[in-house]
Chains A and B, each alone.
Chain A
Amino acid sequence: MPSHPIDFDIQAHIFSTPEGLAIFDEKKRFQRWLDFEGALAAAQGELGVIPADAAAAISDKASLAYLDMESVRRDYTTNRNSLVPIIKALRAACGPYADFVHHGATTQDVIDTGQVLELKEVFALIERDVQQIIHRLIVLASQYRDLPMIGRTHSQQAIPISLGLKFAVWLLEISRHQDRLSALQTRLQTGQLGGAVGTMAALGREGKKVVALTMKKLGLRPSVAPWHTARDTSAEAGAFLAMLTSTAAKMANEIFQLGKTEVMELREPAPRGKQAGSSTMPHKRNPVLCERIVVLSSHVRAMAQVLTDAMLHENERDPRALWSEWLAMPQACIYTLTALHYLKTIITDLEIFPERMLANLHLHRDHIASEWLMFALTPILGKTHAHAKVSALLAQASDSSQSLRELLTSDPELAAKIQAVDLTMLEHPEHYLGLAPELVDDAIREVTDKRM
């Protein structure tokens, strides 16, 4: 009875990916908690805090396979603690060693560490996806380094760019996310073990060693002091996911905008097989993946907000703040993985229409050349006068049927002086690319050097 779009069975994997779902699978989460208990017992055994045979038994039984899941399910209907039913079942499985289970830890130690283990898996996938996206953008930027298209500001045509430059700007942004990701990884992979109020009171004299060894066994860093109420790293992870998906959404929206019927310069790849875009308009081919990414990013930003609100913990522990992470973090991660999956699909087979780009660029050819013309006239007229002159000429050109060239060459003020100026750019503003191709090279070089 899946009721959340993340879990839908029939419309599966529209707001999720199989990989993302597998990480947050309920049983896998339980197993991570058990891994924690197993590692804790093993560490305590090695350090002589609990008997070695107890440690061995607990590590051995710390697996869902040994637990009576029916009784766990039953317990959760009556017990309001989020961990106790699992511990109880583990204790039952450990027989005479039951007393040594979960020795000196608090519920939040287990669940926080479980979350860190989840995030470690999630962020490994994100790292993989980000790398693939970077790789693809390098190819695209280099391939379209010199392909002219119109640049737009305020949604109006401005002057030409190269498509490669657009890709290069995306590339650098994603590459910065990769830097952020590496910086975040170390902070993120820090486990939690501090006991009820973070004093390690019940962990005994060897508390700090227990913590270090337990985390080592789990492949995490120990924390200098407990962070039950210091949720900055969770909030940072949320902010990172929000930024990453927002970049994805920016790219997706750009493809959406440039794929509008009248523009049609870029288009997301068609779905495989025969699929209708609309039930009632047989011709429609909709940029659905781009739209989904925009929607997902909006949710991730909302989740990031929740994760930031969760920083306001009171006293030594505060479930009101903590529990909002439990809902927000899985969603933010699953949505991000989904958005990245779509983005990879889109940019892998992105449709690019150079002819439409050129046609659109030539739509208002005179206007598009206006900056070039202003600078061409600046040595003759001075920049301010040149700006005014070009504006006037443009107005004249749009009122008459004369081209800019005709107006220029017949202008009493300019005709003589302009003879030496090569006016080809007026008819071919697509050559007015500035340093765009070089900037593409620089961007690729910067990103490639960093990756070496």
Chain B
Amino acid sequence: MSPCRLSSHIIDSHFFANGYGTDEARQVFCDYRRMQRWLDVEATLARCQAELGIIPKPVADTIIPTARLELLDITAITTGITTTGHSLIPLLKEWQRVTNPAAGQFIHYGATTQDIQDTAQSLEIKDISAILCRDLETIISMLAELADANRNLVTVGRSHGQHALPTTMGLKIAGWLDETLRNHARLTTCLPRLLVAQLFGGVGTMAALSRQGLTLLDRFASALDLVAPLSCWHSSRDRTVEFVSILALITGGLARIANEVCQLARNEIDEMAEPFIFGQIGSTTMPHKKNPELCEQVVVLSRLVKGNASTLFDSLCNEHERDYRAVRLEWVALTEASIFTCAALRMMKTIVAGLTINRERIKENLDRFSVLLSTEALMFLLGKKIGKQSAHSLIYEASLGCSGCDPDGLIDRLMAHPDIKQHFCREDLEKAVNPTLHTGLSEEIIDRVLAEAHALPRSHPAQITPCQLQGSVLCQCS
């Protein structure tokens, strides 16, 4: 049994963490990795500075190999953060302690704390983005397959919660797919703008970074596979806000799908169901319950991410050259939003992979209300002879007294009208109310979306920075 670790955030819950995150995503933001990442960024800085002759090469050779968290006294760092109130200095002090004291003088040479932490944050975003791209692409493939397989499955289209017109399940799913494709595009196009290094010193002037500051920035950024920004972004947080906004869009899109499954899984509708695994218990007191809990959780996660995004908009209004009130919001909101999004994607993969589409019920619902679904088609048919607006009023009046469950009622009522009787026979009307004949251009629309999905360039398999602590006592990653 693992000991109590005093973790109280649900993301880290021993029991419930899976509902709010994935191991993969949690590992990106792991506390220890984060410290190691800061050391890695510092070591990269020292290496680049040595290459440019800003610090002596032997110094770099001495300090770089000691930039290892497992060599440092973790307790001293923890205590140091409490007593100094500084997030980075205690770590650097420990590093200095274990390295050669003279060489240690060149640690963190000319950088400001936020240079290191922001750069490390860009690396975190990079890892998370790799996960997001991979999962979005998986979901895109799954939805494309599903849309294609259900292209001819006619179902009820609904608006205002009411039956509206016939559509196809394929078209509904193609709509999900199209939105997911847009989110994928949003993510991939924002990354070059987002994944930037930060190395500008105390107030962004590079004053302490030597005359070669800009060259150093280029070298530093490219060593970390990041872009060198034009100027500092210590107090300009649009990139992070953009990223989290995209996370909100992604989870919002997933929530739409999840909610639709939930709604269509209502007993009275029963057209879809999320995968049910035998052994899953819906209710402690109602043995029959099969709850769409994955779908519900996706909706929950999307609301949480939206909250984080909204919080981060407050980080745009920064004061002067640096303003920690913004950055500290990111530490919570970016971390949560990223982990929640990864969880939502994982759940959506499960939902789509095991989605039940209940063809029989779809047909039943369609047949039961088919007449009402076809009033538009009827209106155009009758309109040819009596004018479209007159047809609208006639059908409106006739359908008011029609329960919807009585397929012949409306036709009877219409046929009783002298104008209709004069121009049409009953068969004409019956043909007009056959929903399968009124799915419009659904198939062509599906094909357009599928073409886009198939043309999507696949990114290479997600490359997530491996844990630098693996093998050390500090690493408990599975």
Contact = CB atoms under 8 A, between A and B. Distances in A.
Interface of A: 152-159, 256-257, 259-263, 274, 276-288, 291, 360, 363-364, 366-368, 370-371, 374, 387, 390-391, 394
Contacts of B397: 274
A366 B291 CA distance: 17
Given A156-B266, A261-B404, A281 B287 contact: no
A263 B379 CA distance: 26
A394 B288 contact: yes
B198 to A, nearest CB: 28
Contacts of B404: 261
A282 B399 contact: yes
Interface stretch (B73-81, B157-165, B180-188): B157-165
Nearest to A309: B314
A261 B296 contact: no
Nearest to B292: A154
Given A156-B290, A156-B291, A282 B162 contact: no
Given A261-B158, A280-B376, A286-B160, A156 B289 contact: yes
17 contacts: A154-B289, A154-B292, A154-B296, A156-B290, A156-B291, A157-B267, A259-B161, A261-B158, A263-B268, A278-B164, A282-B376, A282-B379, A282-B393, A283-B375, A284-B160, A291-B160, A366-B288
A255 to B, nearest CB: 10
Contacts of A262: 266, 268-269, 365
B8 interface: no
Contacts of A284: 159-160, 162, 164, 375
A156 B291 CA distance: 7
Given A154-B293, A276-B396, A260 B288 contact: no
Contact of A153 (B156, B289, B365, B379): B289
Interface of B: 156, 158-165, 262-263, 265-269, 282-283, 285-293, 296, 365, 369, 372, 375-376, 378-379, 391-397, 399-400, 402, 404, 410
A370 B287 contact: yes
B274 to A, nearest CB: 11
A288 to B, nearest CB: 7
Contact of B292 (A155, A158, A257, A287): A155
B262 to A, nearest CB: 5
A279 B376 CA distance: 9
A274 B162 CA distance: 19
A283 B399 contact: yes
A371 B289 CA distance: 10
Contacts of B156: 261
Contact of B392 (A155, A257, A276, A364): A276
B162 A261 contact: yes
B163 A282 contact: no
Interface of B is mostly: mixed
Contacts of A371: 285-287
B368 to A, nearest CB: 8
Contact of A387 (B265, B287, B292, B379): B287
A364 B287 CA distance: 13
Residue with the highest number of chain B CB atoms closer than 10 Å, among A159, A283, A364: A283
Contacts of A158: 283, 286, 289
A392 B263 CA distance: 27
B164 to A, nearest CB: 6
A155 B266 contact: yes
Contact of B288 (A256, A263, A370): A370
B160 A287 contact: yes
A288 B161 CA distance: 10
Contacts of B293: 154
A263 B404 CA distance: 12
A257 B161 contact: yes
A256 B159 CA distance: 11
B163 A261 contact: yes
Residue with the highest number of chain A CB atoms closer than 10 Å, among B164, B265, B379, B400: B164
Contacts of B159: 278, 284, 286
A156 B293 CA distance: 11
Contacts of A390: 287-288
A260 B379 contact: no
A288 B162 CA distance: 11
A282 B292 contact: no
A260 B269 contact: yes
Contacts of B158: 260-261
Nearest to B368: A262
Contact of B162 (A152, A157, A260): A260
Contacts of A391: 287-288
A374 B269 CA distance: 27
Sort A-B residue pairs by CB-CB distance and give the 5 closest, nearest first: A367-B288, A154-B291, A286-B160, A282-B395, A283-B399
B379 A280 contact: yes
Residue with the highest number of chain A CB atoms closer than 10 Å, among B159, B282, B286, B293: B286
A284 B373 CA distance: 9
Residue with the highest number of chain A CB atoms closer than 10 Å, among B162, B266, B392, B393: B162
Contacts of B286: 158-159, 370-371
A343 B397 CA distance: 27
A259 B292 CA distance: 21
Contacts of A368: 288
Contacts of A366: 288
Contacts of B365: 262
B160 A288 contact: yes
A351 B286 CA distance: 30
Contacts of A152: 266
A277 B263 contact: no
Contact of B282 (A154, A256, A279): A154
A260 B269 CA distance: 9
Residue with the highest number of chain A CB atoms closer than 10 Å, among B293, B375, B396, B399: B396
A27 B161 CA distance: 42
Given A363-B268, A364-B267, A367-B288, 5 more contacts: A156-B265, A261-B158, A274-B397, A279-B392, A286-B161
A366 to B, nearest CB: 8
Nearest to A397: B288
Nearest to B262: A155
A260 B282 CA distance: 24
A262 B296 CA distance: 21
Contacts of B369: 261
B282 to A, nearest CB: 7
